[in-house]
Every structure is written in C-alpha cells, then in structure tokens.
Structure 1
Amino acid sequence: MGKSRLTLYIFIALILGILTGWFFPESGLKLHALADAFLRMVKMIIAPLLFSTLVVGIAGHGNIKQLGKIGVKTIIYFEIVTTIALFIGLFAGNYFKPGEGFTVDFASAESMKSLANMQHMHVSTSLTDTLVHMFPTSVIEAMSKGDILQVVVFSVFFAIAICAVGDKAKPVLNMLDSLSKIMFKFTEYVMLFAPIGVFGAMAYTISLNGLDILLVYAKLIVVLYGALILFLAIVLFAVCRICNIPMLALIKAIQEPALIAFSTATSEAALPKAMEQMEKFGVPKNIVGFVMPTGYTFNLDGSTLYLSLAVLFSAQVVGLDLTLEQQIMMMLTLMLTSKGIAGVPRVSLVVLIAALSSFNIPVIGVAILLGIDQILDMGRTTVNLVGNCVATTVIAKWENMFDYEKMNEYIDSNKVEKKSFVKEIVHSEPSYPSGYADDNQENFESITK
C-alpha cells in the first residue's frame, strides 16, 4: 500500500470514527479495543527498533573518525541545534498547553492494565533516583518491560564497545544494520493497521467527549507550526549572521527542496535536490556528502521539536502534569531516542510511545495524534530538511571551506534569470490564446512555458 493511499485511509477512518462516536455513542464506547490492539502492536516494535538503530547510528559512522575534527564539530553542532529544538517544543507545550482543558478518559480495562504495567517500571521521584535507574541490571529485563531509558543506555555503551573493538565487530554491526532494516519494514507493516486504530480511538473519544476534540486538533496544529517557524527563524538568523550569508539567498537555495519535503512529507524525495542546491550555493561536495546523510541520523530538528511537544500534549489530554525534573529527563531521552527516525512514515509514533512509557503516561492518548499525523509530518519533515541544509553551511564556514565566490555566482545567476525573464515578457508582442498570429506564436510559447 502506497503512503498516499494509507494517508487517505487514515483520514477516512478519522471521519468515520468521528461520525460513529457522535451518532452511535454506545457502539463507539466498545471500539476502544481496536486502538488498544494497535498500540500494543506498536509497543512490541520499540525495544528492537531503538536498540538496532541507536547502535548502528553511533557505531556505523566510522567515517566520523576518518574526518576527525569535522566529524566532531558536526556532531557538536547537531546536538546544540537539537537541544534548541527540544527547548522550543517544551516552551510551546508549557506556555500554550494545547491539550489542556480537554481530558480524555481512557478508562478501559486494557488501558488501565497497560498503565499499571508502566508504573512499576520506575517510581523515581527525584532526578538522582531517575539517573540511577537509567542503568539496567539486566538488558533482557529492560527490553521485556519496555524500559526505554535503560535500553538507550545499554545501546550507547554497546555501540562504544563496537567502535573500540574495530574490524572484528563488523559482523555484529552488519547484523544489527540488517535488524534495523527488518524492524523498519516491520514498522511499515504495523502501520498498515493504523486506520483501524484511528477509527477505534476516534469513535471511543468522541463517544466520551463529543466534538470538542476538533478544537484540540486545530490548536495543536497551530502551536506546532508556530513553534517550527520560530525555530527556523532563530536558526536561519543566527547562521546567516555568523556565516555572513544573505538570508534571502539561503532561503532561495533551499526553498525548492523544502517545498518537495513539505508536499511529500518524505525526506528522501527532497534529499538529492537539497544536496545539489547546497553545492551550487558554495558548500564543498565532501561537506555536503558527509553532513547531509549524517544529519538524518543525528539532526532531526523538526522531529525532536514535535516529540517534545507531543509528549506534553499527550500528558495534558489525560490530565497529567510533568515536573521540571521529568521534563529534563524527557529531553535527555528524546535526544537519544529520536536519532535515525527519518525515512519511515510515522516511525516517530514508535519513539513517542517509548517516551510516554518512560514517564508513565497512558500511551493510548497517542491515537488522538495519529489522526492528524500527516499534517504534522509535513511540517516536521520540512524542518528536518532545512535544518540539515543549514548545517552544511555552518560546517563549511566553521572549516573555512565555504566558497563565497560560488555563492555570489549563484545569487547573480538567479538575478540574471529573473531579469531576462522579465525582459522577455516586456518586449514580446501582445498575443492571445485564441487566434494569435503565426509569427507571434513562438514568443507566446516561450513566455508561457
């Protein structure tokens, strides 16, 4: 099933769920089992997916060591910008509270059982207790319980050990790379059941709470896109100021791949054009070739901003407040678990459920987000792409490798194209689609192409 068709089915399921919950509330109350079953399917993916992708993402970049300081600077930049994105997401969630005032009562037996299972994972009340709890006594137990913080810590140490062993560890790394690909494909299969989960969740939610949830959707979309725009404005302004680059020229260079990313909600469709544009703009090919692919593992600004906002939203709609310590730990968790999630539709849903499980938030609330995930995905995918395009400029400038002459040529060429196009229109003879003269046909066709 194609992504566009699945998206259509999800929207249809969303509408059918709303209608069922509104016109047949008694039947809608019985459909929560569909959402519960879907979310259980997603939860079974979490541990193997995060373990394999984190290890491959960290240990699989042997070229970072080869590139030396460029690799180190790139990772430092990625983490700084990702942290800014997380802070903006947390600020938007805490200040605007998009889920407040609308409490979802997921009081089904399965939901309460799931919540009870999550609450025994860790009952830490202080930052110190949580830090101690991060280190597992048994990774098998951590995976079986779904304790993502412990899985992440084990994965990081495992990846470091693979790097230290070197060539002898390549078979293990290759195996985990294969496992990650299998789990991504597995995720795609599970997401085929998303329309069923959305239908059940929406029917149940509307049966309990009425149509007020539509206002919640609208508020969340506005808050997310506002936060994404704020992030882009801050990053673009800072980069252009530090690198001495005209902001409009940089926006011009990345606008085409950004539009592709927005319209398709897919990073891969826009990546080749983005790399081509950044080379034309003055970034050396070796910088583009390293930073852009690495960025899709370590620098998913739009996704991390969305995840921090989505965790707070999910907590608010079930009437929970996260403390400052919990939000700090959530930031640290998302900084690791959000790595390498680009490319697979709705895989951010898996990471979101993992984060919610770590903080004892009922995961069934995620079903509310799934109904509008396509709209949210368009924005976060675009910011992921733009963030990585900007990163290539920063690293090139950082290494004194940015080609300002090439940038000026790119700016001038765009000005020349614009001037010649305007001149052609101004000096062409008037022509009309119906009955224009044969000698003016060539001018008309050249203008309207």
Structure 2
Amino acid sequence: FALIGVTVSKFGFSSLLSLGKLVLLVYLALAFFLIVIFGIVGKLAGINIFKFLAYLKDELLLAYSTSSSETVLPRVMEKMEKIGCPKGIVSFVIPIGYTFNLDGSVLYQAIAALFLAQVYGIDLSIGQQLTLILVLMVTSKGMAAVPGTSFVVLLATLGTIGVPAEGLAFIAGVDRIMDMARTVVNLTGNALAAVVMSKWEGEYDAIKGQTVLNQREPADMKISG
C-alpha cells in the first residue's frame, strides 16, 4: 500500500490505470499459460489439468496467499508421490525445479520489461525482444522461491535493453499482486514436471494417478480412511 502511495504521489492517479492494465495482462498471460500450455503438456502425460489443479488446490491457495512456493514444498512432494510418481524422481525434480523451472517468473519479467520499455518510449525490435527473453530465461535460473525475487532479477536484466533501472519504482507497488499469480504457475509447473519425468522414465503409475484425480474425497481422507 505504501509503495502504491508513493507511485501515485510521483506519477499521479493516471498511473493506476496503466498499472491496472499491466496486472490484468500478467494475470491473463499466466492464466493462458496455466490452462493452455500446461493443459497440452498434461494431456500428453495423460493428466487432466483441471483435475490436477483441483488436486493441488490447497497448496496453490497457500502459495498464492504467501507468494512463496517454499511454504508448500513438503506437501507437494507428498501429494506427487500419492498420485503415482516414484519418490526418487519427486525428491529430485521438484526441489531442483524450485530453482531452475520458474515459468511464471520468466513470463512476468518479460511482460514487465516490455511495459517499462514502453513507459520510456524505447522501441524494441523483434531481435531485441527475443534476446530479452533468452536473457531472462538464463538470469531466472538460481532464483530463490521467496517473495520479490523476480523483482531483483528484473532489476539486473533491464540494462540489456537500455531501460533505466529506476523504472522499477513505477511497478513496485503492484509487484506483490503479480508475484502471487506467478508463484501459482511456478508451483504447478514443478508439480507437473514430476509427472512428466516419471512417465518419461517409465515409472509413472497411471492407474494410481487417475484413481486419485477422479476420486471425490481429498486424497488425505481416502488414504487415512
């Protein structure tokens, strides 16, 4: 709230409209990636993305509210084992994915960088935009899964397209709102990666997975009962 107050005091109330459009665009892009791209990947792996999201709804809600996927790491690993992924793959893929598989963060950073370029009237060619995406894919590796990390990485990347780092102050007030959404995408991508890798290695229990996803009661209730 304080950061938004500073933004309004420096740039005026009209800035809220631009920031609102940025937040809306980020959410729409992340939703498209979550449903369409992950949906296609899930389809290839024999997973219905909507049932998969419903299965992880508690963890996704907690990650969304805290803007940190670290808070649900043990629960996600436990649930992926219950869905048919072997422990050996889950214990390797998900923790390493928390550092190297941050789809939502990269998508947000690309949109935010282009937004700031437009704010400063910098016209980026297609080549520069592709370069920006490649740079972000590299610089996003090694990020901690804690709130605000993407903001720091974006700060270090803006110089590659000639955007002044001071421009980040303009979007600082709404960064946490977007951080919540990109955390959900990051978490879903890591969980889905465990299924894909398990199937790739021929160790995924598809029958067990479909049984858990199609059951009406939560997995914990079924198992404990």
Q: How does 1:11-410 map to 2 (within 5 A)?
A: 11-15=1-5, 17=6, 202-206=8-12, 211-410=13-212
* Shift in CA distance, 373/254, structure 1 to aligned 2, threshold 3 Å: same
* Shift in CA distance, 244/14, structure 1 to aligned 2, threshold 3 Å: closer
* Shift in CA distance, 327/13, structure 1 to aligned 2, threshold 3 Å: closer
- Alpha-carbon separation, structure 2, partners of 1:234 and 1:320: 31
Of structures 1 and 2, the larger Rg is shown by: 1
Helix, strand or coil at the partner of 1:239: helix
Q: Which amino acid aligns with 1:244?
A: G
List gaps (5 residues or longer) in structure 2. none
8 Å Cα contact 2:195-2:204 kept in structure 1:
yes
- Cα deviation, 1:16-70, whole Å, max 9, x if unaligned, reads x3xxxxxxxxxxxxxxxxxxxxxxxxxxxxxxxxxxxxxxxxxxxxxxxxxxxxx
- Cα deviation, 1:292-321, whole Å, max 9, x if unaligned, reads 011112110010000000110010111111
- Alpha-carbon separation, structure 1, partners of 2:218 and 2:152: 46
- Alpha-carbon separation, structure 2, partners of 1:327 and 1:240: 29
Helix, strand or coil at the partner of 2:56: helix
Consecutive aligned runs of 4 or more in structure 1 exceeding 4 Å deviation:
none
Tell me how far 1:354 sits from its aligned partner: 1.5
8 Å Cα contact 2:8-2:15 kept in structure 1:
no
- Alpha-carbon separation, structure 1, partners of 2:49 and 2:148: 32
Q: Which amino acid aligns with 1:12?
A: A
* Shift in CA distance, 228/280, structure 1 to aligned 2, threshold 3 Å: same
8 Å Cα contact 1:225-1:379 kept in structure 2:
yes
- Alpha-carbon separation, structure 1, partners of 2:41 and 2:103: 15
Q: Could you say what the CA RMSD is over the residues aligned between the two structures, in angstroms?
A: 2.0
- Cα deviation, 1:376-407, whole Å, max 9, x if unaligned, reads 11001111101101111111111111112322
Q: How does 1:427-442 map to 2 (within 5 A)?
A: none
List gaps (5 residues or longer) in structure 1. 1-10, 18-200, 421-449
- After the TM superposition, which of the residue ranges 353-362 and 389-398 deviates more from structure 2? 353-362
- Alpha-carbon separation, structure 2, partners of 1:277 and 1:260: 15
Q: Aligned residues, how many?
A: 220
* Identical amino acids, percent of aligned pairs: 42
Give 2:216's aligned residue.
415
- Alpha-carbon separation, structure 2, partners of 1:371 and 1:386: 26
Helix, strand or coil at the partner of 1:375: helix
8 Å Cα contact 1:253-1:278 kept in structure 2:
no
